[in-house]
């Protein structure tokens, strides 16, 4: 029952979150900082009340280790959201972030000296190929659509290239954070809710560096057209409503993933998150009419095929089917 409930939270929360994020980014492409700040503040407030009991509960993992983790987490979150300001379409943004497997494997080999099976290397090759296809197709669209003149086209392309570089850096930094987190959990035990709180609370002072941009977008949000909220029978600026819904759905999504990690095997969690990403991508393409060519579909299919191969879903299904057949024969 908990697994079904958690899976529902992940799909409803995360897919709704993508919709509200796209609604925000469409009108204000540079609003990534205020979105990140709102998400961090909400999750930090919730954790302060329910996880730390208003600061009375001491952390299991030393704060000095959290500071290192938080620095990486803050950097990744800000860069990922800020990259949307560099002509990065939402579908490409989602596909690119699905390449976390590549970054995890590369850093696992370099830092942890891990070795993988041939099927793992094949899956990573497929994910890399899929992302490469989607990126090249998106690059062509930027060159064609964004620039009226050749000079404008070059500038738009260089602007887009910077966004790709930011996403690549964030991908590698996120993988490095994952390895650091793994070593901490081995040493101090797994404390996911505690880590969630400190990862969102400790970076809050860092947003002072972005306060000018956050304030500018807060003013712009306040100037947006009002929308009537049916439940409370009050009106509020539509952009603030989108931001509020984005924050709530982000929290629902995170809580769903957290429940899944405690109830299910990591393979199940990975499969659910992968399917959720695919559904979010479909919603972004169909609902918002984002440009998506046949080659984009090919690239997307290759990415998700590689992801499923990496998680060994096929072999798990075969084992389950064999077990079911053996059980029927025994009867």
pLDDT tens digits along 93-125: 877 776 776 777 788 888 878 787 888 788 778
Q: Residue range 150-177: average pLDDT?
A: 83
Q: What is the pLDDT of residue 241?
A: 94
What is the maximal distance between C-alpha atoms in the chain? 74
Token readout for 285 is 């393409």
Indicate the angle between helix axes 2-27 and 238-263, nearest 10 degrees.
Answer: 150
From CA 110, how far away is CA 23, in angstroms rounded?
A: 40
Q: What is the pLDDT of residue 109?
A: 82
Q: For the residues of 245-305, what is the DSSP string, one character each?
A: HHHHHHHHHHHHHHHHHHHS-HHHHHHHHHHHHHHHHHHHHHHTT----HHHHHHHHHHHH
- Please name which of 158, 149, 246, 187 lies closest in space to residue 69, comparing C-alpha atoms: 187
| Contact between 240 and 221 (Cβ < 8 Å) | yes
96: buried, middle or exposed (CB in 10 Å: 19+, 13-18, 0-12)? buried
- For residue 86, what are the CA distances in angstroms to 26, 69, 225? 13, 27, 26
Residue 113 is classified by DSSP as -
Q: pLDDT tens, 278-294?
A: 778 777 777 777 777 78
Percent above pLDDT 70 for the chain:
84
Q: How many residues does the chain have?
A: 331
Token readout for 59 is 């952390």
**306: enclosing H helix or E strand:** helix 294-310
Tokens 């704060």 correspond to 63
| Contact between 56 and 243 (Cβ < 8 Å) | no
Residues in contact with 270: Cβ distance below 8 Å, sequence separation at least 6, in sequence order: 307, 311
- pTM score: 0.74
How many other CB atoms sit within 10 Å of the CB of residue 12?
Answer: 15
Q: pLDDT tens, 215-242?
A: 999 999 999 999 988 777 789 999 999 9
Cα 244–chain centre separation? 18
From CA 296, how far away is CA 290, in angstroms rounded?
A: 11
Residues in contact with 68: Cβ distance below 8 Å, sequence separation at least 6, in sequence order: 180
- pLDDT score of 214 more than 90: yes
The mean-pLDDT minimum among 27-31, 263-267, 271-275, 292-296 falls in 263-267
From CA 88, how far away is CA 85, in angstroms rounded?
A: 7
Terminal Cα distance for the chain, rounded: 28
- pLDDT score of 64 more than 70: yes
Q: What share of the chain is helix, strand, coil (3-state, %, to 5)?
A: 80, 0, 15
């Amino acid at each position: 029952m908990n697994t079904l409930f958690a899976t529902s939270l992940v799909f409803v929360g995360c897919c709704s979150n993508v919709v509200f994020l796209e609604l925000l980014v469409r009108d204000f492409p540079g609003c990534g900082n205020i979105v990140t700040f709102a998400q961090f503040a909400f999750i930090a407030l919730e954790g302060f009340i329910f996880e730390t009991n208003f600061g009375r509960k001491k952390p299991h993992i030393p704060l000095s280790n959290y500071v290192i983790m938080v620095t990486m987490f803050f950097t990744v979150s800000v860069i990922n959201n800020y990259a949307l300001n560099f002509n990065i379409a939402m579908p490409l943004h989602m596909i690119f972030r699905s390449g976390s497997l590549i970054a995890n494997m590369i850093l696992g080999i370099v830092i942890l000296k891990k070795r993988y099976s041939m099927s793992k290397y094949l899956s990573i090759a497929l994910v890399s190929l899929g992302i490469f296809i989607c990126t090249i197709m998106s690059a062509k669209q930027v060159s064609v659509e964004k620039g009226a003149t050749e000079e404008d086209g070059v500038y738009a392309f260089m602007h887009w290239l910077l966004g790709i570089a930011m996403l690549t850096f964030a991908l590698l930094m996120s993988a490095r954070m994952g390895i650091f987190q793994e070593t901490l959990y081995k040493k101090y035990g797994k404390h996911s809710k505690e880590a969630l709180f400190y990862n969102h609370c400790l970076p809050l002072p860092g947003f002072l560096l972005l306060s000018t941009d956050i304030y500018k977008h807060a003013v712009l949000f306040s100037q947006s057209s009002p929308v009537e909220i049916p439940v409370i029978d009050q009106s509020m600026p539509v952009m603030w409503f989108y931001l509020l819904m984005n924050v709530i759905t982000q929290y629902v999504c995170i809580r769903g993933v957290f429940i899944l990690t405690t109830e299910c095997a990591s393979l199940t969690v990975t499969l659910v998150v992968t399917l959720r990403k695919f559904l979010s991508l479909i919603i972004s393409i169909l609902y918002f009419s984002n440009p998506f060519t046949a080659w984009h579909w090919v690239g997307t299919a290759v990415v998700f095929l590689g992801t499923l191969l990496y998680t060994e879903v096929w072999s798990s299904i075969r084992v389950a089917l064999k077990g079911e057949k053996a059980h029927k024969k025994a009867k």
